[in-house]
Amino acid sequence: MPLVRVDIRKNPDPTFAKRIGEVIYAALRSTFNVPEHDNFQILAEHDGPHFIYDPQYLGIPRSDGMVFIQLTVSEGRSVEQKQQLYQTIAYHLHNQLAVRQEDVFINLVEVKKENWSFGNGIAQYVS
């Protein structure tokens, strides 16, 4: 059900983006109860001119280590679950991959269940 998009600046470690995705999937499983195998991710790396952010917006100091995360999920989670998800992702990216928590930017997009088709042109979540 979640579709995860991660955008980072090009990293010398070819496994870095995939490891970010693994942290996010684990956080989704623990906070949003995402089922096993429900893991769909688009991981992209960008060169400097195509990676733009404000280094001080809302008083948060950001660096080129920014990680942009966009999560498209079915609606229905509580504010508390969402806050727990954000905290869990930022905490584990920092502890496992040394990403500064200030550099974790998360955008959650909620959609109705009928807005998903996982293949075969069928809206699998419509009953």
Q: Which residues are catalytic?
A: 2
The closest of 91, 92, 71 to 7, measured between CA atoms, is: 71
How many angstroms separate the CA atoms of 21 and 30, rounded? 14
Q: Are the beta carbons of 42 and 69 closer than 8 angstroms?
A: no
How many angstroms separate the CA atoms of 6 and 106, rounded? 9
